[in-house]
Chain A
């Protein structure tokens, strides 16, 4: 297994108290596999990714428990020095907002080349040649003439390509893409997702795709992990989950999105709001919004049950996953 996150807990100390952003997340990705981590804002999907990358702001954040195994080694036991060698070279991240993730006063060529001068000790001239090669690879037209341009001279889609180029520079084994196409228009989103999928196949990378878009997930993912209030509430193969969700939250999400190919009358809406992380409800965190909630849901935190008979390697954190599967 390329990456295994085991029972990860992250909390943030804030003025108003301790916010439990991640409460026992377990997931894994293999080489060449795409895992989609789906969740709404505040579900902890990005915080988990930051912990994996080792770019979590500490303080205020703090990893209180868990393991992050990369090729069997626990990254949390690494010294910062060792961690830095892993980051960029073996795992890389693509952020949502390319404009604010790129340095506005350095040319893109300099920023891409920096990967090679810092990690590989190349000369600046060689690094620049490498930068052009990378820009070509992510299909930026006229790469050689644009290598000296600054981020603001590129369009949104092109900037996201540069982010991808930067992540791929050292051919890492794992890419974490945090909402890589959320800020882009649909036609450009399709271009960028296509490119990402193609490069992933080519390099046989593991890809963690963090998103809130059920459409994007259905398009590219192999496996899916749904997060809610800092926990995985359901994980399964992508086909199985869309066919029959085993958690009421997933089910609610799938029913609440309007579809391009159907015109329904009223949309199903999950009632209420996502919980405040300072005051996560006791029992199942979803119980105040759940149409199936019983007394046990208000008192007992559901473990991540193994779901049987509806696809391989499937889990659901619902006491009533059977009922949920049945309808």
Chain B
């Protein structure tokens, strides 16, 4: 299995062979298992301290299930999640509680992830009920106000209710709650996808700032490839329960070698009307197969334009493809494809020379 060594020493989180199957059963009295929805089907990655790992993929690829397993909201079917060397999937009781303090989550929907009957102060302060060692009782109010200040909300809002805030402000409350226990790792599942464009940037900048201020490590899960590129140091692309390609952001975005990544990148609309004429688009046909019936061999082969016989027989491993193994260039990163090939699909920053009538970009 490919090693993805995070830069800067020992990874804070090491995930190996992570699997989550949901059983499909039949019968009422004698339930028997007739199959399984393979939501996550063998995921490996490392997260370095202070690093941001972006995980992208379409709906149903298992990225949210990975997030939920990282924070122990779901128990993995198999595999290990090592936090500083310790496998947290095997912990229970007090030891588990101590670890969970250090891995916190920010949820997608700021409208449903905050209890409407609790004040902001109670929401952000609730983690202290479970981990009273972090903030002694008399000190909590002040702590919560500090947190509100840190995420850019007025500390006087402590007695207000969630409905009195806009979407962006609510997401700040969700982030403040995530920070309350001073965790080392934040798992953010689509933290900005419910927000308006002009507010997204505010929240992304806030997360950037908090990362350097508190030396946080992020697992940032999203379907928006542009946002993931902006915030991530490394990126993993998921398809149908597996990571199919992973590498540093420039490796993935500028030198993708897996056909799925290439298709995904080429499908993203670029906010530049000049790009539409000279941009090659790969349009995938069909839909993602059901995770209850995963194709044999390479799971992407049913939609892949390169698929050959070998793809149906042999599962491609996530490793540096043989073609690039002896290179040191940006194409030499892990990609689970038998026929990996480098292909540039995102237009380069500078417009190509062969357009003399072009005026130079006036935007900064």
* Chain A residues packing against B (C-beta within 8 Å): 40-41, 155-158, 185-191, 193-194, 212-219, 221, 238-239, 242-244, 252-264, 266-271, 273-274
* Chain B residues packing against A (C-beta within 8 Å): 58-59, 166, 168-169, 196-202, 204-205, 208, 223, 225-227, 229-231, 249-250, 253, 263-276, 281, 283-285, 287-288, 346-349, 359, 361-364
A267 to B250, CA, bound (A): 18
A283 to B266, CA, bound (A): 42
A187 to B260, CA, bound (A): 10
State which of A193, A194, A261 has its C-beta within 8 Å of the C-beta of B346: A261
Do the beta carbons of B226 and A243 come within 8 Å of each other?
Answer: no
Do the beta carbons of B287 and A188 come within 8 Å of each other?
Answer: yes
Do the beta carbons of A267 and B197 come within 8 Å of each other?
Answer: no
Specify the chain A residue showing the minimal Cβ separation from B200: A256
Given A239-B273, A243-B363, A260-B229; A189-B267 close (CB under 8 Å): yes
21 A–B pairs (Cβ distance < 8 Å), ordered by A: A158-B287, A185-B288, A186-B267, A186-B268, A187-B283, A214-B197, A215-B226, A217-B269, A219-B273, A242-B363, A243-B359, A243-B363, A253-B198, A256-B198, A257-B200, A258-B204, A261-B253, A267-B205, A269-B205, A270-B198, A270-B202
Specify the chain B residue showing the minimal Cβ separation from A273: B166
A258 to B208, CA, bound (A): 13
Specify the chain A residue showing the minimal Cβ separation from B285: A191
For residue B272, which residues in chain A have a CB less than 8 angstroms away from its CB? Answer: 218, 242
For residue A215, which residues in chain B have a CB less than 8 angstroms away from its CB? Answer: 226, 268-271
Do the beta carbons of B226 and A257 come within 8 Å of each other?
Answer: yes
Specify the chain A residue showing the minimal Cβ separation from B166: A273
Given A185-B59, A188-B287, A267-B204; A239-B274 close (CB under 8 Å): yes
A100 to B272, CA, bound (A): 32
A308 to B334, CA, bound (A): 52
CB distance from A230 to the nearest CB of B (A): 15
For residue A274, which residues in chain B have a CB less than 8 angstroms away from its CB? Answer: 196, 198
Do the beta carbons of B362 and A190 come within 8 Å of each other?
Answer: no
Given A256-B197, A260-B268; A269-B287 close (CB under 8 Å): no
A136 to B227, CA, bound (A): 36
Specify the chain B residue showing the minimal Cβ separation from A186: B267
Given A260-B253, A273-B168, 5 further pairs, Cβ under 8 A: A217-B269, A258-B227, A260-B226, A260-B229, A273-B199
Specify the chain A residue showing the minimal Cβ separation from B225: A260
For residue B205, which residues in chain A have a CB less than 8 angstroms away from its CB? Answer: 266-267, 269
Count chain A CB atoms within 10 A of each CB in B197, B274, B275, B281 and give the residue with the most: B197
